[in-house]
Structure 1
Amino acid sequence: MYKYNEFDKAFLRHRAAQFRDQIERWQDGRLSEDQFRPLRLQNGWYVQRHAPMLRVAVPYGELSGAQLRVLARVAREYDAPEADVYRRALDAQRKLGTTRLPTHHAHFTTRTNVQFNWIPLSKAADVMDLLATVDMHGIQTSGNCIRNISCDERAGVAPDEVADPRPFAEIMRQWTTLHPEFAYLPRKFKIAITGASEDRAATEWHDVGLRLHHDEHGALGFRVTVGGGMGRTPVIGTVLREFLPWQHVMNYIEAVVRVYNQYGRRDNKYKARIKILVKAEGQQYIDDVEEEFRQIVEHDGGPHTIPDAELERVRAYFVVPQERDARKQPDPRAAIALRDAAARTPQLARWLERNVAAHRDPAQRIVTLSFKRLLQAPGDASANQLELVADLVDRFSAGEARVTHTQNIVLPWVHADDLLALWNAAREAGLASANVSLLTDMIACPGGDFCALANARSLPIAQAITERYQDMDELEDIGEIDLHISGCINSCGHHHSGHIGILGVDKDGAEWYQVTLGGSDGSAASGAAQAGKVIGPSFSADEVTEAVQAILQTYLSLRTSAGAREERFIETVRRVGVEPFKAAANRVRTLAEDLA
């Protein structure tokens, strides 16, 4: 993992002290609300439906055990609203039929950040001081700037990796932080990077997507896509360069952002994202970027060209942990014990199948800890769970974890000999759900329970579907499927890329839900990235689970098999189209109307 030097640490301490001074001036009236708003946003502080929300940056998804423990402390000591705020929030929720608003929790987001929903602004400065002790902050997690750079959660350990993308992500993080030309863009700007043959970072759904690969001569470089995004207008990124030498990645991004900064719309925030500019200008945008890039390299001398020495300096932080490098060969006795235990224990066998993946080192494994279970919102982790995960990370994964865009935690350095002990420890901690990539391993944003932008609540829908599908045999029979839920068109739950997507919409002041089918994030199991198609009218909250059930029953009746392999849901949808599923779901809507 990258380690902050004394300059980095001093910078964070100074930034935290600045924010404390700003809060004090706001509290005593020397800063107006309008003056204070951009200052808190630049440090990751929003004001949501009921209380402030802090978004903590987790660059390229990496967390240490020490950082997890501080996040646990933030959850336990600070993530609790003042009594009158919580009482008003509960009263509002009772009117909607629920009172489940957990406190003392962190929430893992689809961009691998961590959010807290209940910290009072009066305690914000104390929280920023605490985060700074473990090299954490909220800088550039909000605002119209280049946001937290996301990455493949298996970076550096995946067998299908061409090159580790984390050194490039770290170099770009340092370069973009507080960059004056990137501080006030027309709209927020997101970058994703991967170095693997499988796109686990959903790069084509980002403003800039970067994929490392080798050209025909063996040189390393990036495939560059620009203009991807979800929201009101889902767009897959346009390829600007099939191959860009790695040394020039920052020069090229500078060109991409300069052109966007110059021509992107600022008169309408719904049309301000770079995807709108790329779509509107087409080849002209590409030509302008290439000309700007030429000017940067030829006229300005390529000031952001990455020297070999700098790449090697940063790469030195992303190496095999010493304790893992010294422990190579698995013990045959441990493998036999694991095999025998799995034969006796179906839950363990499922966990090994679902949650354990191959590693580039044959002696190690990549293990996913799922936070998706009954009575727990997708992505939520209690203070106790965060501490338990920290213990597992330190004990079994050389002190390193990764946050995934599917809102789980990955342990990237688990020795094969330790799998049985890890499973037993995870089971005791309540973190051994063997549902990775199955229906209940869903993505969901916080929705209307917390977010002021949401049209509807996401979490009760996620809970209802989870309650319906608790039978693991049934889940295994349905097979791998991506279910994504967003509470509004901003798409924080990535509903556009779900095999089944659910979008909360407002209908005369009531919560309704639109269903899409056939979306993909671009992973190997999902195929090429694409947006799902809407199937018919929206459904009430009470109808959503039944509509999903009707869709899945239709899939089970239509899927084909080849030997022992059953056709996946997304494959069936692409083969037969959405009409049979649309008809099945709409029968639920028709029946509800008849009963009404």
Structure 2
Amino acid sequence: MYVYDEFDRSFLQERVVEFRDQVARRLSGALNEEEFKPLRLMNGVYLQLHAYMLRVCIPYGTLSAGQLHKLAHVARRYDRDYGHFTTRQNIQFNWIKLAELPDAMADLAEAGLHGIQTSGNCIRNTTTDPWAGATPEEIEDPRIYAEVIRQWSTNHPEFTFLPRKFKIAITAARRDRAAIRVHDVGLRLHERDGQVGFEVMVGGGLGRTPYIGKTIREFLPKEHLLSYLEAILRTYNLGGRRDNIYKARIKIQVHEMGAEEFARRVEAEWEATRDGALLLDEATLADIRSRFVTPDFEVLADNPPELTAEQDPAFLSWRQNSVAAHKAPGHAIVSVSLKPIGLPPGDATADQMDVIADLAERYGYGEVRVAHEQNLILPHVRQKDLPAIWKALKDIGLAVPNMGLVTDIIACPGLDYCSLANTRSIPVAQRISERFADAERQKEIGLLHLNISGCINACGHHHIGHIGLLGVEKKDEEFFQITLGGKGNSKARLGTLLGPAVAESEVVDVVERLVETYLALRTSPQESFIAAVERLGIEPFKESAYAPR
């Protein structure tokens, strides 16, 4: 965990005072909604379909147990007893009254939490691998560099009002758990000739015009991270479209200009600043590393008797699905599914947040992570404590062994909350999870990522789902377009449109037919859904999806 200093604490307190005055002026009528909008957006406040929504920033998806307790408090005191974790590793509260927002923000600030950089045309919260600092796969902890970016980008005078929002993601492991290739900038830490640096990708993104990011630099020495990012942003800021909101993202600029020309302009800009004030020396990085409180892991053996003694089949199923290897012997990474059967994906009640925070304090060195799949992670737990953690999660309905399976659905809030949505996402996700509720059936199907977006803005990442559902409206009725074959990993690919949109009332049946087609045509249980789609193409799935019934 990164420990904030007095500057950070004072900055948040000043923002709360400033926002309290802005809300008072809005409530008094001194500001109308149009005047209030840019002020609230700078603090993560949106006007949704029914009420104002507060999006709280969780920098690089890392929370202390105390911060999670504070989020539970806000859900209980100011909202309707729950929060919604997002694909940007943040949390949203959908029902806070405008008059109470300053008090909620003051309470959050006590724990170092805020809504800054969660909205508006600025550099948004940098996301990263939720297993960072715990997985044996990584070459360095990417959160160090995410924190460097946070400090550099917060209130950056040149990049606070960009043509459009700007999202950065970082990974340092072989397996990409941060979907870096569908971000405005994706950064992959890797080693070359004994030196650690970044592969730099630009122009990725989803929404109405999706693109996979293009590599513009294979290797960037890490000391040049900020100066190179500034060159990218300056190139985008000067040349990005401001006349058309639908063409204002950097992905459009890179596509229209071409990656080679964009890279040439970035390199030219960078040459003028690369060795200037933004050069990251080792002293700066060491200072930031020193503020990350790294757990003092106990020296333990793998597979302790407390673990091997627990033979409950339900525990063994959960352990196989939701527990991953840790870099420290005798420890493990635990994924906590926020996808119980029949409930809204990504939601957690105040009581559930409190229990998970308690588990982190008691068993997990006080740390919790948020994954972009809308689940929570206990990144550092002792293997001997896994049975106790499982029992505690079972008591709150979250010992669900469905990580990476068909019911581990990514879904946006949709038309139940969002004023931009065409369709409801949550009820469809609930009905799909109920259709596939049988745990043995889920295991038989195996790895399958199903993502749902309620509109073309793609907050549910439907483009990179193995099965993607996009809500569209036809004559005031809800329909869903279906894509197949998307991937958000290191071999990221956009899904292929299956055919005409299907009615909302039929979409669950169609999804089931797609799954049954896979089971009938796979070469063996070892061939995953996505591998079968890649081998067969979409035609056999299309045929079954649209066959007369």
- Give me the TM-score of the superposition, normalised by structure 1: 0.91
Match of 1:85 in 2: none
- Post-superposition shift, 1:330? 3.2
Match of 1:57 in 2: 57
Deviations 1:373-428 (A, max 9, x none): 12320000111111111111111111100000011110011011111111111111
Question: Which of 308, 328, 342 is the aligned partner of 2:299?
Answer: 328
Counterparts of 1:395 and 1:573 in 2: how far apart (Å)? 44
The answer to whether the 8 Å contact 2:451/2:467 transfers is yes
- Match of 1:485, SS state, is strand
Match of 1:244 in 2: 220
Match of 2:148 in 1: 171
Question: Which of 409, 422, 425 is the aligned partner of 1:442?
Answer: 409
Match of 1:14 in 2: 14
Match of 1:538 in 2: 501
Counterparts of 1:515 and 1:33 in 2: how far apart (Å)? 37
Match of 2:25 in 1: 25
Paired AA for residue 147 in structure 1? R
Deviations 1:405-461 (A, max 9, x none): 011110011011111111111111221101111110110000010000000000010
Match of 1:314 in 2: 288
**Matching of residue 4 in structure 1 with residue 4 in structure 2:** yes
More displaced 10-residue stretch of structure 1: 27-36 or 500-509: 27-36
- Match of 2:273, SS state, is helix
**Matching of residue 360 in structure 1 with residue 327 in structure 2:** yes
**Matching of residue 274 in structure 1 with residue 250 in structure 2:** yes
Counterparts of 1:505 and 1:155 in 2: how far apart (Å)? 37
Match of 1:581 in 2: 541
The answer to whether the 8 Å contact 2:305/2:384 transfers is no
Deviations 1:263-292 (A, max 9, x none): 100111111100000000012211111100
Paired AA for residue 22 in structure 1? Q
Counterparts of 1:35 and 1:424 in 2: how far apart (Å)? 51
- Post-superposition shift, 1:318? 3.2
Counterparts of 2:83 and 2:334 in 1: how far apart (Å)? 21
- Aligned residue runs from structure 1 range 391-470, under 5 A: 391-470=358-437
Paired AA for residue 122 in structure 2? C
- Post-superposition shift, 1:357? 0.1
Paired AA for residue 199 in structure 1? D
Counterparts of 1:232 and 1:366 in 2: how far apart (Å)? 35
Question: Which of 153, 156, 161 is the aligned partner of 1:184?
Answer: 161
Paired AA for residue 190 in structure 2? H
- Post-superposition shift, 1:307? 1.3
Unaligned runs of 5+ in 1: 80-102, 592-596
Counterparts of 2:305 and 2:516 in 1: how far apart (Å)? 39
Match of 1:253 in 2: 229
Paired AA for residue 515 in structure 2? L
More displaced 10-residue stretch of structure 1: 416-425 or 167-176: 416-425
Provide runs of 4+ in structure 1 moved above 4 Å.
Answer: none
What fraction of aligned residue pairs are identical, expressed as a percent?
52
- Post-superposition shift, 1:321? 1.2
The answer to whether the 8 Å contact 2:338/2:346 transfers is yes
- Post-superposition shift, 1:331? 7.9
Counterparts of 2:428 and 2:153 in 1: how far apart (Å)? 38
- Post-superposition shift, 1:31? 2.1
- Match of 1:156, SS state, is coil
Counterparts of 1:231 and 1:410 in 2: how far apart (Å)? 27
Deviations 1:138-171 (A, max 9, x none): 0110000000000000111111101111111001
Tell me: CA distance 1:331–1:230, structure 2 relative to 1, closer, same or farther (3 Å): closer
Match of 2:42 in 1: 42
Match of 1:481 in 2: 448
- Match of 1:123, SS state, is helix
Deviations 1:201-233 (A, max 9, x none): 110100000000111x21110000000000111
Counterparts of 2:327 and 2:350 in 1: how far apart (Å)? 32
- Post-superposition shift, 1:30? 2.2
- Match of 2:471, SS state, is strand
Counterparts of 1:337 and 1:77 in 2: how far apart (Å)? 39
Match of 1:96 in 2: none
The answer to whether the 8 Å contact 2:139/2:173 transfers is yes
Counterparts of 2:365 and 2:196 in 1: how far apart (Å)? 29
Tell me: CA distance 1:499–1:434, structure 2 relative to 1, closer, same or farther (3 Å): same
Counterparts of 2:25 and 2:309 in 1: how far apart (Å)? 64
Match of 1:560 in 2: 523
Deviations 1:451-480 (A, max 9, x none): 000000000100110111111110000001
Tell me: CA distance 1:34–1:556, structure 2 relative to 1, closer, same or farther (3 Å): same
The answer to whether the 8 Å contact 1:235/1:275 transfers is yes
**Matching of residue 141 in structure 1 with residue 115 in structure 2:** no
The answer to whether the 8 Å contact 1:2/1:317 transfers is yes
The answer to whether the 8 Å contact 1:330/1:417 transfers is no
**Matching of residue 150 in structure 1 with residue 127 in structure 2:** yes
Question: Which of 291, 296, 307 is the aligned partner of 1:338?
Answer: 307
Counterparts of 1:231 and 1:16 in 2: how far apart (Å)? 32
- Match of 1:315, SS state, is helix
Counterparts of 2:357 and 2:329 in 1: how far apart (Å)? 25
- Match of 2:355, SS state, is helix
- Post-superposition shift, 1:337? 4.1
**Matching of residue 200 in structure 1 with residue 200 in structure 2:** no
- Match of 2:268, SS state, is helix
Match of 1:82 in 2: none
The answer to whether the 8 Å contact 1:392/1:426 transfers is no
Match of 2:70 in 1: 70
Counterparts of 1:242 and 1:121 in 2: how far apart (Å)? 47
Deviations 1:307-339 (A, max 9, x none): 1011011112335313xx2x212386xx33432
Counterparts of 1:428 and 1:585 in 2: how far apart (Å)? 39
More displaced 10-residue stretch of structure 1: 419-428 or 267-276: 419-428
Counterparts of 2:390 and 2:26 in 1: how far apart (Å)? 49
Counterparts of 1:331 and 1:544 in 2: how far apart (Å)? 45
Match of 1:294 in 2: 271
Paired AA for residue 76 in structure 1? R
- Post-superposition shift, 1:522? 1.2
Match of 1:386 in 2: 353
Match of 1:93 in 2: none
